[in-house]
Amino acid sequence: MTFLDQLRTAERQNGSLLCVGLDPEPSKFPEQYRGDASKIYDFCAAIVDATADLVIAFKPQIAYFAAHRAEDQLEKLMAHMRSAAPKVPIILDAKRGDIGSTATQYAIEAFERYGADAVTLSPFMGFDSVAPYLQYHGKGAFLLCRTSNPGGDDLQPQRLLDVPGQPRMYEHIAALAQGPWNLNGQLGLVVGATYPAEIERVRALAPTLPLLIPGVGAQGGDAVATVKAGWRGAGGETTAPIVVNSSRSILYASSGADFAQAAQREARKTRDQLQAAKP
């Protein structure tokens, strides 16, 4: 199965557009694990087990593991996700953006060491920073396009030339990803939920690509507006998938012993909101 096939299968199987982001911060763990980085795997595995039938994808953020020297726990977690939720794809959120032989090594890390189904990338060094990942046929790569952070305004909505009618940077990235860069149909785009009008613009420029949309939940993105702007379907089938990520509001829904059950309730609530918003 290609990554796109995996997304569509998980969407149908779990009736979901929700991606749970796995951003483990030991200082925010429930009381029994609080402050203990050796419990990163235990915490994340409990979240995975509680939400596996509610999601379209999981998205571990590599920095939260590397900062605590927990790469071995990430490897163990990746294996657990493949076993516990074999039909749910895993997006490794790494935002790599180097070129040449270094990009090749990062691709080995994502797809061979960790066994991810897709990875997030920064495209700002050009196509040669993306190409090594496309050698892994069937794997996915999401390019940063219009991100949810305020600093994204510094670059992404700026026009390429100071001439009316020229595309904005994020529009140019979307057009490249839909067109000449998408050699094997592997690319998707990252667009923040805090910009629904720009999600709609990206969807117009990239009508078939999967969109990874962070920012729903703690970051304040509107779930209903996000789905209406980005998801497309016809005849009951998805034609342009979206993967709507929520992290903190699910992971830290409770600081007590019931943290996994609370995460499950929050995930179900968000999943149902997203499903109800489909046009």
Residues tagged active-site = 95
Rounded to 5 degrees, φ, ψ at 4 are -65, -40
Longest dimension (CA), the chain: 58
- Distance separating alpha carbons of residues 65 and 211, to the nearest angstrom: 25
Amino acid identity for residue 175 in this structure: A
Encoding tokens for residue 126?
């050009």
Strand boundaries in the chain, DSSP class E: 18-22, 57-60, 91-96, 118-121, 140-146, 187-191, 211-213, 232-234, 237-240, 242-246
Q: How far apart are the first and last CA of the chain?
A: 27
Beta-sheet pairing, 232-234 with 242-246:
unpaired
